[in-house]
Amino acid sequence: MKSLGSEKIRKTKAVLIAGTGSGVGKTTVALGLMASLCKKHKVQPFKVGPDFIDTGHHTHVCGRPSRNLDSFMMGETGVLETFSRASKDADICVIEGVMGMFDGLDATETASSAHIAKILQVPVILVVNAHGASRSIAATVKGFAEFDRVDIRGVILNNAGSEKHIRLIRDSLVSAGIKIPVIGALPASNEISIPSRHLGLHMAGESARDISILSDFIEKHVDVDAVGNIAGGFAPQDVELKEPEERYNVRIGIAWDSAFCFYYNDSFDELRKLGAELVFFSPMKDNLPPVDGIYLGGGYPELYANELSKSKTLGQIKAAADSGMPVYGECGALLYLNERLETDREYRMAGVLPASSRMTGKLQALGYTEALVVSDSPLAEKGRLIRGHEFHYSITECDRDARFVYKLVRGKGITNGKDGLAEHNTMAGYMHTHPASVSFARFSGFCSKYRKDKPV
């Protein structure tokens, strides 16, 4: 990759919403602040970690694509580049953290909210569950403030009780010499909760949630002006943004519907920068459009197995793959490209890959992955090391002569530490990747070759 110079980003505000642990209310606070700030400002949302679902809710609220910031998959440079590109025309950036602020990969800071805060040098607001505690909150905040070099500028209490309860907590912070102010206190409320399923929260488009209720709730209980002042303490760094060395005149089909909806917007951006025209289609409802390659993301094919099995697209994708068209799939796409998928019963799938999958109702794998490429594929050449993550409840059983592209250094994969099942120019596995870890340049090149070589 060669540099075409640096793009300067204008002064913008930014704040990271972190929590003392999972389930303390980070998503509620982040979404509520986004909704409130969007009334007057261009808000760019971000999510720490590999999550696809929270970013969908951010995008729904803010009207612009949310971006993931993950220092394991993307590296520090990738985090800085994504933030710089996405924030350049925003008034304020709101970054939702992940788990507890210091929880990262194993016992390290990597991929934690704290690591992202330090990479970007962004101020932090800490969300604390106040239920059943008062003076102990002061000990918690003091510990978080002094544990590492993270700039915590404010505290928001969730599940706060009476005004007396809130006053006790504020007084405890003051008496302990903690100068971090409480800028909000949210009472418990079922009105703003988001339903969930086996892979997490429901997607943004699945419920007609009134965004104004969320913003009104936050504005009633949080000093939004104080949030803006904290965000104003952010000084963006100058980052050199690199452009591709080569562009490819190709059309790439993107599977996009309720069954296939787990994608990183950075992937779409990179494909477009590489010269691709992206053609979105539904494997449940549409014909396969005229394309030179196909990218199928993760999602919920198990919830739509009946519709997918009856769709005419199934055979069209099979025929395209058999003709040598490059096809790349992640997680849910693996289930779709296999021969059969068992949920409530067994359904016929595309039959491109020599394997069958079944849902188990039990978590089979969750966490970061690191894969050594042991066989060339349209995505990456042999010898590369790729980072990603996996999260699935299914089991996939392959034919004995199945060919795998990945040997996992970290993670579970399809079977015995192997992932990336390959056939023709099709490859799919449980691992989700990010373009900062493995570029789509090789895939675009394969699509370009297919376009030139395919029979007219």
Residues forming the active site: 331
For 74, list phi and psi in degrees, rounded to 5.
-100, -20
Of 214, 313, 199, 211, whose CA–CA distance to 256 is shortest? 313
Strands 426-429 and 327-330: parallel
* Distance of alpha carbon 231 from the chain centroid: 23
For the chain, the C-alpha Rg in angstroms (whole number) is: 23
Tell me the C-alpha distance between 396 and 373, whole Å. Answer: 20
Residue that is written with structure tokens 């404010």 in the block: 154
Residue 402, CB-side half-sphere exposure with 13 Å CA sphere = 27
Bridge-based pairing of strands 152-160 and 182-187 is: parallel
Interatomic CA distance for residues 451 and 235, integer angstroms = 46
Alpha-helix runs per DSSP H in 208-292 = 211-221, 224-231, 265-273
**Separation in Å, CA 63 to CA 48, 52, 60, 319, 386:** 19, 16, 6, 37, 32
At residue 370, the 3 state secondary structure works out as: strand
Residue 66 is inside which H or E element, if any?
none
- Residue 311 CB contacts under 8 Å (≥ 6 apart), including other chains: 283, 284, 285
Q: CA-to-CA distance for 79 and 81, rounded, in angstroms? A: 6
Whole-Å CA distances, 312 to 285, 316, 318 = 8, 7, 10
Mark residue 292 as left, alpha or beta (left: phi above 0; alpha: psi -120 to 50; beta: remaining): alpha
120: exposed, middle or buried (Cβ count in 10 Å: 0-12, 13-18, 19+) = buried
Residues in the chain: 456
Cα separation, 69 vs 23, whole angstroms:
20
